[in-house]
Amino acid sequence: MWFLTVLLLWVPVDGQVDTTKAVITLQPPWVSVFQEETVTLQCEVFHPPGSSSTQWFLNGTATQTSTPSYRITSASVNDSGEYRCQRGLSGKSDPIQLEIHRGWLLLQVSSRVFTEGEPLALRCHAWKDKLVYNVLYYRNGKAFKFFHWNSNLTILKTNISHNGTYHCSGMGKHRYTSAGVSVTVKGLQLPTPVWFHVLFYLAVGIMFLVNTVLWVTICKELKRKKEWNLEISLDSGHEKKVISSLQEDRHLEEVLKCQEEEEQLQEGVHRKEPQGAK
């Protein structure tokens, strides 16, 4: 139980995020772009990193770029992959999955995973920024927004109902349709309330107190039993000594009685002998 108490003291009460972890931002702010377009990834930290050095990773392998900005000009399919960065002593950033596409129409999103309440930006983007009209946005195969001319769409506060696969369509020389993009909205993780912290440490304190009381009680009980067993042992020895003494007294009494009877018999014999002689 003592070990359990120590473990509980080391358990973090809430899942606080490490604010020294680096964060990647994109310019333009889309996780998918066309070939030959330019995109810049920026490695940022909330606190001074302690060093100006920056390390970039593509699909887990370190790259030669050592500046906070990672610029991709004339993007190709080879630039697709998982990007992470680290600045100075900061922790590695969460990964950003950048995709480079071919085609004529592309649905761009600001991210593929959101926490409930965060904004979701969408853009129905044509190759080389060509004009698109009669634009429709779809979620899970159903149209939910129409624009006469190409326009960005922003959902200011996402919720669980915004989970799904998005795509768009628009008119150019023909009716074009983009590939689908899967968007996930996670439930909001509320911060742990203060009263929970209080209850947690109160419970740990009570456990510590109970453990201490039990330990003291057990020690006293063991000591009392030891003393009781010792008293029984001493009393048993005393009784044995008393019984032995009584047995010795009885034996001595019987011996004396036998000696007395023998003496009386001898006196009787001596008295009879003179009378027989006469």
pLDDT in tens, 157-183: 999 999 999 999 999 989 999 999 999
Q: Given this model, what pLDDT does residue 244 score?
A: 58
The whole-number average pLDDT for the span 189-214 is 76
* pTM value surpassing 0.85: no
pLDDT in tens, 216-246: 788 777 777 776 665 555 555 555 554 556 5
Instruction: Please provide the CATH number assigned to the domain covering 20-101.
Output: 2.60.40.10
- What band does 12 get if pLDDT is binned at 50, 70 and 90? very low
The sign of the CA dihedral 37, 120, 149, 177 is: positive
Q: Which token pair is 139?
A: 């979620």
CA dist list (Å): 259 to 36, 50, 246, 249? 137, 112, 20, 15
For the chain, give the longest Cα–Cα distance.
178
Q: Given this model, what pLDDT does residue 27 score?
A: 96
Percent of the chain topping pLDDT 90: 52
- What band does 89 get if pLDDT is binned at 50, 70 and 90? confident
210 vs 36: which has the higher pLDDT: 36
Query: Is 103-190 CATH 3.90.550.10?
Result: no
- Residue 123: phi, psi to the nearest 5? -145, 125
